[in-house]
Amino acid sequence: MTGRHLKGFALRVGAVLALLAGILVGAFGAAGTAQAASSLPCDIYATAGTPCAAAHSTTRALYATYNGALYQVKRASDSTTLDIGVLAAGGYANAAAQDSFCSGTTCVITKIYDQSSNHNDLTIEGPGGNGGQDVGAIANALPVTVGGHAAYGVFVSPGVGYRDNSTTGIATGSAPEGTYMVASGHHVNNRCCFDYGNAETSGNDTGNGHMDALNFGTECWFSCSGTGSGPWVEADLENGLFFGANGSYSGNTGISSEYVTAMLKNNGTTTYALKGGNAQSGSLTTFYNGALPNLGGYTPMQKEGAIVLGTGGDNSNGSDGSFFEGVMTTGYPTDATDNAVQANVTSVGYTTPAATFPVAGTAYRLTNVNSGKVLDAVNCGTANGTAIDQWASLGNTCQQWKFTSAGNGHYTITNVNSGTTLDSVNCAQSNGTALDLWASLGNLCQEWDVTHVGSHYTITNVGNGMAIDVKNCGTANGVAVRQWQQLDNTCQQWDIAP
């Protein structure tokens, strides 16, 4: 290496270190409060020579100068749309604009704008090789505080997905790239595939090495021996979720902090790396850094350059996940750059607003918004296997339910009359899976996510990710209540009150 090249290399390294130092000062300055740094993730990547090819977030700007729209919402009452921007250049989402626009109705996120000059905007995904038409995420389902400001993430449940099949500047073939996202370590499941990154342009599985996407969840494609219970930062390289090496890798022990920074780097010909860290504090852990799989098709990679969020490359859309921000880069980022981005992420202070529902020990009635009927244990049954339907309110304990925390933001739901637990029958994972009452088993089939939708709620099974749904939107007494992928309609929304 010549003296001139050494000097240039030193200047580039110095620039990254200077950025990192500036971020740390900005994050932990005299005020002691989290605030936006002067250099944001895409500024950090650009300075290091690996600029953002796409940058998506519903919570904040990812460039210090960005002053455009972050995402678009559509309200159910009149199908009108509104772009949600930032409060100031380089700042945080204007959540108040969404709250005002969506007041009294339901909104869904219809577009997530690319903040880079490539305009690789994500819209609701169409049918693919392994999934039908997707729906948008409910816009207020994932409240978050970031930089001291209210904002909303993207709440992915089965049937939710976003995609751009006609991109500009995204890596294709064996070109190198890096990807990171901030996700929830608690809102996960074991179904395919909560991905963000490079995918097929056709929406079909076109073979090994045609994807290069981050995956985060508890799905174990290969052996999980010695890796714990997850969730794990994995690489979806198509036809496999890779912990490292050829798929199974004991060094990838997972990360379950409330907020997670997940990273994937792939040089396209020989090497890939997986990293993860607590998005609220601390540094990154390298879970794998080594050779690409030698299983055929992965060396070299055959990337196609579409972008997917919330599903697999063929629209496998059974996953749960929460997305707050993420980027894809041109080129293979350095470890110093990764560390600088992690420092910026932790500096902004992702936190979860305090929940006001449910109150432990309180008995609630669950009233379907579409039918006006309440969730009911058929014939006041008390035996295991008692079916669930809807019925006009009778004022009895067969129609009352108590919520108990199961940890990680999940709940068990117990019928007051029988003392048995609301249960997903046989832990099935298909649309139409029945509900019943069963003695407590302590498993995910009896745990539920309760999510705000305006003034209403959706209730989603943790084990299979599907929502509690009134069959065919029926309004009569005795209509079965079962599970279905998210449809964004009032047949899956409930009023919950004592």
CB contact at 8 A, 157 and 465: yes
Tell me the average pLDDT of the chain: 91
Nearest-angstrom CA–CA distance, 488 and 396: 30
Specify the pLDDT at position 487. Answer: 87
Percent of the chain with pLDDT over 70: 93
167-213 pLDDT, tens digit each:
999 999 999 999 999 999 988 888 899 999 999 999 999 999 999 99
Q: Which candidate, 266, 298, 273, places its Cα nearest to that of 170?
A: 266
pLDDT band at 25 (very low <50, low <70, confident <90, very high): very low
Domain at 432, CATH number: 2.80.10.50
214-245 pLDDT, tens digit each:
999 999 999 998 899 899 999 999 999 999 99
Tell me: pLDDT of 118 over 80.
yes
Residue 100 is assigned to a structural domain of this protein: yes
Domain at 100, CATH number: 2.60.120.200
Domain end among 318, 347, 376 = 347
Q: What is the mean pLDDT of residues 412-440?
A: 95
Residues in CB range of 175: below 8 A, 6 or more apart: 268, 303, 330
Catalytic residue among 219, 236, 314, 436: 314
392-416 pLDDT, tens digit each:
999 999 999 999 998 877 899 999 9
Specify the pLDDT at position 37. Answer: 53
Residues 256 and 136 in one domain: yes
Structure tokens at 5: 């090249």
Domain end among 293, 314, 347 = 347
Structural Rg of the chain based on CA atoms: 23
Residues 340 and 487 in one domain: no
Percent of the chain with pLDDT over 90: 81
Residues 334 and 395 in one domain: no
**Owning domain of residue 208:** 34-347
Residues 373 and 479 in one domain: yes
Nearest-angstrom CA–CA distance, 100 and 88: 19
Specify the pLDDT at position 33. Answer: 35
Is 314 designated active site? Answer: yes
Domain end among 284, 312, 347 = 347
Catalytic residue among 177, 212, 238, 449: 238
**Number of domain units in the chain:** 2
370-380 pLDDT, tens digit each:
999 999 999 99
Nearest-angstrom CA–CA distance, 371 and 368: 6
Residues 209 and 143 in one domain: yes
